[in-house]
Amino acid sequence: MRTNCPNCNKTIEISEELLGSSRGRLVCPCCLEVFVLPGWEPNKENVDDSAGQLADLMAHLRYCPNCGAKVTSRSKFCPICGEDLIAAERERMAIADSEQAEPAQSHDDSTIDDSPIAIGEEADDDADNGVAESDSQTNHGKMLSPQEYLLMVQHANTNHVHDMSPSQRRRFRRKIEIWTFVLVACVVAMLLWCVTPRSVSNDLNGMPTTDYSLSDTEHVVSPVFSWMAKVDGGTFSMGNADSTANEDERPKHVVILNDFFIMKREVTQHMWQAIMGSNPSVPKGDKLPVVCVSWLDCVKFCNKLSRHYKLRECYSIDDSSVTLLHGGHGGFRLPTEAEWEYAARGGKSNGTAEFSGGDDLDDLAWYGGNSGVACNGGLAKIKRVGTKKPNELGLYDMTGNVWEWCWDYYGKYPSDSQTNPTGPSGGIQRVIRGGCWNSSKGRCAVLFRNFDKITGSDNSVGLRLVYMP
């Protein structure tokens, strides 16, 4: 048997069992409209109160009439509140039958108490009865079957979603889908943000903090470090041709160099502490260049920094004996004296200025003439790295602030042409270049050479590193 919903015109299939158990009252599965089957009249077949009819009713029971909990068709008692479901169904069927049998009563308008008190009480009763009272009536004031009543209670318990029209339900579901998508997208974005490695700029030495975080295990195959400047190789004349120049600055000779990278700033105490786990500098300050480090300390630092980046170590260290490996390729190392002078002159520009970057020393360097008041009340006057003007390659403090260790033993220059020279094969002292915070103007010149023993350290000597792929 079929019929159409008077609200949405949905075609509804009706079995004889459903017809007998529902007593002609149906719920449209599409719009949830409750209506009486047109032309339905009770007869012996469809009002039979036998046990079979009760079984049909129980087969359609899905929710407890007491608490609204979901139950199975085979349950005798509610699993939540313990309600006797069969007894409740019998009672509701009896009430429905008795109300159907009573003749409709006519109401005399004169008997209605329309005083404010009576009306208020009626309103309060309706409010107390809540959804159950209003939902127990159809549009025509007729009693619903137990199945319909339970269904309407369930609708009320789900925030009246099922009381919406089809278009309202579609919009409601659409909103739920949109907000679910937004929530999932936010969770995914948060997870991606948590697991994505980030490089955070750090102005301590112009270096990303993750570059020297000891927890960083990323393998760098061909690194390009933001805190290093590339120096294109070339040919230049090293030394001083002036006959009045210091003897160790002569003779002037031709040097050919390959490409290399050099740090834009001197190694800071912050970077040294992160790699070595200690800071021997006096005075201390994260943004100050590291000092009080010997030449041997510096080559050990180079190897440890190379291991951190999973690069090749450039030095073999046996006590105080150090050997350069792989021609200085593939890891961090100290610059050769030729590389240091070439970078200080500006690389291929081959500048002829007295100091690195120009001739105005006050603009370019911290030296004895402008280093000012002592740091922290001590005698050292070292300054924060990178606070003066850079040279043509963007290198800071190549002149002044602190002397910088080089790889080479200190000795006389050769007179013939050299390609990637590494200095004398032996000696006692190692070269330092660039002048420092207490140097005179003449000792800050690009061509001036100085030296110290490999175990020597004081608060005027630091370093910057070179990397050659």
Range of the domain at 67: 2-103+118-163
DSSP 17-37: HHHHHHTTEEE-TTT--EEEP
User: What does the pLDDT look like over 84-94, one tens digit per residue?
Assistant: 766 766 676 66
- Residues paired with 26 in a beta bridge: 35
Residue 301: what pLDDT?
97
Residues 317 and 244 in one domain: yes
User: What does the pLDDT look like over 44-90, one tens digit per residue?
Assistant: 444 444 444 444 444 555 567 666 666 665 556 666 666 676 676 66
Q: Answer whether 43's CB lies under 8 Å from 79's CB.
A: no
Whether pTM exceeds 0.75: no
Q: Answer whether 466's CB lies under 8 Å from 334's CB.
A: yes
Residue 359: how many CB atoms within 10 A of its CB?
A: 10
The residue type found at 100 is Q
Residues 263 and 365 in one domain: yes
Residue 127's pLDDT band (cuts 50, 70, 90): very low
Residue 381: what pLDDT?
81
Q: CA-CA distance, 114 to 130, in Å (whole number)?
A: 22
Residue whose pair of structure tokens reads 């509701």 in the numeric block: 92
The answer as to whether 110 is a domain residue is: no
Q: For the chain, how many structural domains are there in total?
A: 3
Residues 173 and 30 in one domain: no
Residues 170 and 156 in one domain: no
Residues 221 and 316 in one domain: yes
Q: β-strands 321-324, 34-36: how paired?
A: unpaired
User: What does the pLDDT look like over 261-287, one tens digit per residue?
Assistant: 999 999 999 999 999 999 999 989 999
Residues 334 and 434 in one domain: yes
The DSSP 8-state label assigned to residue 145 in this structure reads P
Residues 6+ apart with CB under 8 A from 361: 354, 355, 367, 369, 399, 400, 441, 444
Residues 308 and 433 in one domain: yes
The answer as to whether 113 is a domain residue is: no
Q: β-strands 403-409, 461-462: how paired?
A: parallel
- Residues paired with 418 in a beta bridge: 255
The answer as to whether 203 is a domain residue is: no
User: What does the pLDDT look like over 437-451, one tens digit per residue?
Assistant: 999 999 999 999 999
Residues 89 and 185 in one domain: no
Span 18-40, mean pLDDT?
64
Residues 171 and 157 in one domain: no
Residues 99 and 217 in one domain: no
The CATH number of whichever domain residue 380 belongs to comes to 3.90.1580.10
The answer as to whether 259 is a domain residue is: yes
Q: CA-CA distance, 295 to 83, in Å (whole number)?
A: 89
Q: CA-CA distance, 119 to 133, in Å (whole number)?
A: 17
Residues 176 and 99 in one domain: no
The answer as to whether 112 is a domain residue is: no
The answer as to whether 111 is a domain residue is: no
Task: Report which of 405, 407, 443, 403 is spatially closest to residue 427, judged by C-alpha positions.
Answer: 407
Residues 191 and 243 in one domain: no
